[in-house]
Amino acid sequence: MTKNLVNLEMMYKLPQQEIDIYDQFSEVYEPYLQYRMDMSKTPNLPPRRTWICRFCGRDFTTTTFKNAPHQFSKLLCNPYGIWDEECDACHSRFSAYERNLGAWLGLHRVFSDIRPGNKRFIFSSSDGRVQSRRLGQIILFEQAKVGGFEGSLRDGQIAFNATPLPYTPALVYQAFLKNALSALLRSDMLKYKRALTTLQVEEAAWKSAGFRAIDMVETDRSIVHPTALLYRRKGTDQQYPLHMFCLDVRNFMFQLALPLEERGILSGREGFTFLAAHYLSKQAEDDRPFTILRSRHDLESWKEVVPERSTIIMRPDPEAMKKLVSVQLPPDFMEKLKKN
């Protein structure tokens, strides 16, 4: 991973709304740190006897470091980013948060290939009707019960119905908060003692008045190398959080306002102004269409949510359909495909 100031630029013409968002955000925030995910290898780490957990502050004399924790969640496209700042106890606690994050992401994990290198990932609808899995570049859909699929290729589309697994919104937020605190320098961690406590102590998280919301940007373009971006407030106006965290994963950007900064709490500011961050840094001279969809997700609730049944419409490229050929597959083809 690399740490340096950032200036992301891509060759697409941005909608005017995105240019306005960039101007507003840049008035208050400036780039602080960038972490570009290393997608090829596991880094060389110092001996485990020297590790100190950044979340609980313990070393090998009072805790263990047997696991290989990821600085940013493996669930969010970081298969190799192992680091030396997370003990086994904290890692176990955060795993519960990530299970809820996985349920919240649902089908995105399959269709957007959010988790590369995991050929056996399976999404199962909660009603048991449909399973889908990614096998390399192949997405395989299986209908376990009647009602999983509707339509046909002859109609030019297939409707894929699924009911995602239940999740707890506040625990989804905890997963994002853990990733955001992982991006901070250790010197910055001192400013977020209360935020750290909410990750460690469930009762403290319940009582926290932090702003639990995530901005999600979905686009029709995909970033090859996932990138974590940290922005820092330029001035001293504490109506704005000191840091903003953005994680670019495939065709998504997730934004979190880092809450509970100690100076803001002491001055009585618990209600913050959440400015949406720009997806790209500037407009380029390219007229190719570029679609950006924005949504804000309230993750304040500690009550489990059972999602409604959702439908994804798939429309194959008509030109590609003309090139299709029919072949007779051997009886054991599907079993062999699943094993590979």
Q: Reply yes or no on whether the pLDDT at 153 is more than 60.
A: no
Name the least confident of 25-39, 63-77, 91-105, 271-285. Answer: 271-285
Q: What's the mean pLDDT in 254-262?
A: 81
CA 222 to chain centre: 14
pTM given for the model: 0.78
**Spatial distance between the Cα atoms of 87 and 66, rounded to a whole number of angstroms:** 8
Which pair of structure tokens corresponds to residue 157? 């589309």
Q: Which of 72-76, 194-198, 257-261, 306-310 has the highest mean pLDDT?
A: 194-198
Label residue 225 by pLDDT band (50, 70, 90). confident
Instruction: From 149, 199, 200, select the one nearest 178 (Cα to Cα).
Output: 199
Q: Look at residue 160 in the predicted model and tell me its pLDDT.
A: 67
CB count in 10 Å sphere of residue 173: 28
Label residue 155 by pLDDT band (50, 70, 90). low
Instruction: From 176, 130, 135, select the one nearest 311 (Cα to Cα).
Output: 130
**C-alpha distance across the termini of the chain, in Å:** 30
Which pair of structure tokens corresponds to residue 247? 């994680």
Which pair of structure tokens corresponds to residue 125? 């609808």
CB count in 10 Å sphere of residue 237: 10
Q: Reply yes or no on whether the pLDDT at 1 is more than 50.
A: no
Host H or E run for residue 245: strand 243-257
